[in-house]
Structure 1
């Protein structure tokens, strides 16, 4: 059997890391930049940082890890975390708190908004509970998807720690078991099991930390599924029924879920390659891909560079962010950033300039 393209690319990234250590300065030793007003990004995708945008009274509305955020049709920004005093925090675009709810999600992690012909629902992944919940917009649980062994998809002792969902054009529910057994499972809109694809491994159609999943509908006639394979520094593309198509390699970037907005894909980078060599212990940045899946800007990270058509190693440039876990994009292309393991940091905002 020929060597796997993903494995070859991953080996190349390791070689690039060694080169980076030899020729690049250690970014963690740079002077600490300003917290607010810093201009970040590259080319036509530049932003002014508002680090304290989502700050609240922590005695009333505490957070542990701000995991993910979505925007509803009213323009409200809905964030999920793993603090059971208020799993859900709902902001307006100015950073004002509008509402909070949720006490039953100790591992509150994945948050997906589904607009079903004008009626909106939320899907919440809790890897601690090994469950996925469908709720209304006030948090009332309407459906629960439990361990796949209950429908014969897993053995009883196989780990199931779902991290993200996506909803297909026909209502099919895609569940990424990113902290568990590395499958993407498909269920009907009613919660009936259909099948699964992926699984653990280094094959093109396999995953190593299948952390995120999204429907890429930029080609309206041919929507596809994008799945994060974080350890592979990749997004992997599949047909709606789970057939592998291609990979988007992002060397050095341990990406979280892909967020599709208009003709671009955005993602939080939870850490960059140098993190594992103890150079950037709290690294992270945001990466932005254009309609051709070419990286065009890395707010907080190094400028994207292509040589002979190959994207070069990307790392954190300035120590502004700690483990960018998710992004949410509003209608003005402002970016809201949720951070994990970030000293109980509230969401930050990047204002498009």
Structure 2
């Protein structure tokens, strides 16, 4: 196929969360860094309910769409936002249904526990293992608060609007979407639906400083949706921060200095998830063609230790031309909006989806 370089201007609308939908009306000019496009043949056939094999190369998976299904009259969900695995192998999911914000599964899909009624926008979920004692950090963009809890749901710490510590004006929106915990216990909060800052707090919840902010500069964000500490270089851990409208992860030092960008054209990525040498992410929207954001789309993307995309379960095969990644899109309509992934010890992937007709988590079994 002939490869064509096309400069473009695109207007992107970010629509996630029924309580935070808004048009970004962000016009992004790529100019000299124009993307490389190729014709796409999107598969329109409906997938099998179960057993579909998706992915590429050594990272291929069998789809188990009913893995996490529960009795919705007893354990209802709206959006399955994020999932983490604790040291006992339990899979802990957060959602925005206050009848049971937290659902805890075993790896067979059996429900082990449920709790949580205080988080109407339950969104970000981070597990912190502090010398063998485990805690959760829950972000609620609806209430504008971040909560530290134990694994039973007892709230131990609450971080509120940054105006209370002089970091924001009272009128500045604060809608936190994600946290990460640094090697020294520093709490990083991504204000992904609010003012686009990354805020740093001590382990006791005392404000330190902030970096980033809204914009198209290298050190700025457009939907700073997720954040994680990247320990793959053990001697030099760094921060990876999502800039979803930019189709990017941006790398920073632990004190907030910009280092580099991982550009993933076509993929509205959610939070970065590190497992071993690989970087995983749910893609909340795909692009059908050129730069239009496509509703009810998405896939999972997997990068290797060199941050090269090696597999796109549910998406097109990753291809590079002259070292540059070609635009990636959804290939099969298996997913609607992949909001997060969790990787277990057998390298299976559990996919949480937003705005997906109240779908429970889906398991991708490594084959």
Unmatched segments (≥5 aa) in structure 2:
1-27
Paired residues for 1:308-347 under 5 Å? 308-347=322-361
Secondary structure, aligned partner of 1:231: helix
Cα distance in 2 between the residues matched to 1:160 and 1:11: 32
In structure 2, relative to structure 1, the CA distance for the partners of 1:192 and 1:9 (3 Å cut) is farther
Is the 1:26–1:279 Cα contact (8 Å) retained in structure 2?
no
The corresponding residue for 1:12 is: 34
| Aligned pair partner of 1:224 in 220, 238, 252 | 238
The corresponding residue for 1:24 is: 40
Deviation (angstroms), 1:8? 3.0
* Number of residue pairs matched by the alignment: 340
Is the 1:78–1:91 Cα contact (8 Å) retained in structure 2?
yes
RMSD: 1.6
What are the Cα deviations for residues 152-187 of structure 1, in whole angstroms up to 9, with x where unaligned?
000110000000000000000000000000000000
The corresponding residue for 1:240 is: 254
Cα distance in 2 between the residues matched to 1:250 and 1:71: 26
TM-score by length of 2: 0.90
| Aligned pair partner of 1:165 in 135, 158, 179 | 179
Q: Which has the higher helix share?
A: 1
What are the Cα deviations for residues 277-298 of structure 1, in whole angstroms up to 9, with x where unaligned?
7784310100000000000000
TM-score by length of 1: 0.94
Secondary structure, aligned partner of 1:251: coil
Paired residues for 1:253-272 under 5 Å? 253-272=267-286
Cα distance in 2 between the residues matched to 1:112 and 1:141: 14
Unmatched segments (≥5 aa) in structure 1:
1-5
| Aligned pair partner of 1:92 in 102, 106, 119 | 106
Deviation (angstroms), 1:26? 4.3
| Aligned pair partner of 1:82 in 96, 102, 110 | 96
Cα distance in 2 between the residues matched to 1:26 and 1:226: 31
Secondary structure, aligned partner of 1:265: strand
In structure 2, relative to structure 1, the CA distance for the partners of 1:137 and 1:10 (3 Å cut) is farther
Cα distance in 2 between the residues matched to 1:10 and 1:80: 41
> Aligned pair 1:191/2:205, yes or no?
yes
